[in-house]
Chains A and B, each alone.
Chain A
């Protein structure tokens, strides 16, 4: 597998707090990479560095480099909007806009200049199909997105992210607010999506990481403790701390 995202000696500070310490790793394309670790270990921070959402938090400073497809995303010549278009994100809480289902999915394409009704219809349908939501909502696309159930809302958010044709999909504990059945649906969806997208997911749920991901990264206190094939990491952890964590001794 080839590396799509290359992180080199990344250090990140919130004010004086050293949130990420000297992180280097390569994330392969068209696979699912899971970040696990106890809360506050930096896994979400790293995820949010990948589409520069951390820029929105005042006092954040980033050192080192993150390259996506060879381009340093913290470089001077980077168009942040285009980066975020290429690196989609799904959040912990489903966060559809208070608009119709259709307008939610069409939001991104419209931002990027697509106005043709016909084209938008196509994108909405293919994105909703991609997020396995089309059959449930195709008859009432004009309904408010807030009328959907939590799991449906989250799949709508995935569809919304897919609508701008990203290469990478970041999922920040995307199932933690959902019930088990909805969670399962999202996990299945992720399995399908990895054929086309590079997926990086943060999860507080080790079992989920074990079920879904190809690679797993274990974080502790802002450092990467262990990075391995998922199967290997869970069956034969190299580091004592990893073993403690996955056997439930802390976190």
Chain B
């Protein structure tokens, strides 16, 4: 009886787990497979069309990268500095415990809240309208707490012995942070940054609220005050709201491109970390 139960259990675990995992993979492969064969450069860099067939995703794709870049320019220095503060300088008291809860809370607030905040701040208070600037800043706010936490945890994970060794050689605090703590925690921080940038790249709710669902309609528009529809938003917009006859094809191709880029982010950004870990493991 027991043996039979055990048998059934093992078989169920294998079946359910493998089915689920294969199912999710099949879905993702399906997206890539449906979108990629008909992908052309014209589509990737072409201008979108509101009414006729054959529109491209050029400006949306550009906006995705541009806003990602801008948001990281804002969030990375601030987030890393705040993380260093929490890991290295912050005293151990109730006040700082509050700050940590703040950061943790902020990291798990639904993204749409950042969108609402972005509207209140950039659209309403500063009267900017829906802009790339507002979208990028809201994205930065979204990622700031994540980067802060990742940095703090990565620095805390550096063995104390290394800090002690550095201080014992007469290093100042800043020298220790710059030459020992940051290099040793870099691979964890980079992994965190890659997750954050993947999230920013694929984020759509925040962008719809703060940067809108249209582009300026021209390629390479660096103007911070242009409307900033991104690829992720475009995918939703074309599928749900647009009236172009080839919406189905456009959204299939957009989905494939979006998925591919996000996966590439996750993989490529982590390669240096993998290589590094591998090197250290081999050496140790």
Contact = CB atoms under 8 A, between A and B. Distances in A.
A19 B165 CA distance: 23
17 contacts: A58-B92, A84-B167, A84-B169, A91-B161, A97-B162, A98-B162, A99-B183, A107-B179, A108-B171, A111-B170, A111-B179, A144-B280, A144-B283, A144-B284, A146-B283, A157-B165, A161-B168
Contacts of A147: 283-284
A53 B170 contact: no
Interface residues of A, number: 32
Contacts of A83: 170
B184 A111 contact: no
Given A56-B164, A97-B162, A144-B280, 16 more contacts: A51-B168, A53-B168, A86-B170, A96-B165, A97-B165, A97-B166, A107-B179, A108-B169, A108-B171, A111-B170, A111-B171, A111-B172, A144-B279, A144-B283, A160-B165, A160-B169
A111 B166 CA distance: 9
A138 to B, nearest CB: 18
Contacts of B165: 91, 95-97, 157, 160
A157 B161 CA distance: 12
Given A95-B161, A95-B162, A97-B162, A164 B170 contact: yes
Q: Which of B159, B279, B283 has the most CB of A within 10 A?
A: B283
B74 interface: no
A173 to B, nearest CB: 13
Interface of B is mostly: helix
Could you say which interface size class chain B belongs to?
20 to 34
B75 to A, nearest CB: 27
A211 B98 CA distance: 54
B175 interface: yes
Contacts, number: 74
Given A53-B164, A111-B175, A161 B169 contact: yes
Interface string A101-115: 000000110111000
Contacts of B183: 98-99
B180 interface: yes
Q: Which of B164, B168, B172, B184 has the most CB of A within 10 A?
A: B168
Contacts of B283: 143-144, 146-147
A97 B158 CA distance: 11
Nearest to B281: A146
Interface of A: 51, 53, 56, 58, 81-86, 88-89, 91, 93, 95-99, 107-108, 110-112, 143-144, 146-147, 157, 160-161, 164
A53 B169 contact: no
Q: Which of A82, A88, A111, A157 has the most CB of B within 10 A?
A: A111
B170 A108 contact: yes
Contact of B171 (A81, A86, A99, A157): A81
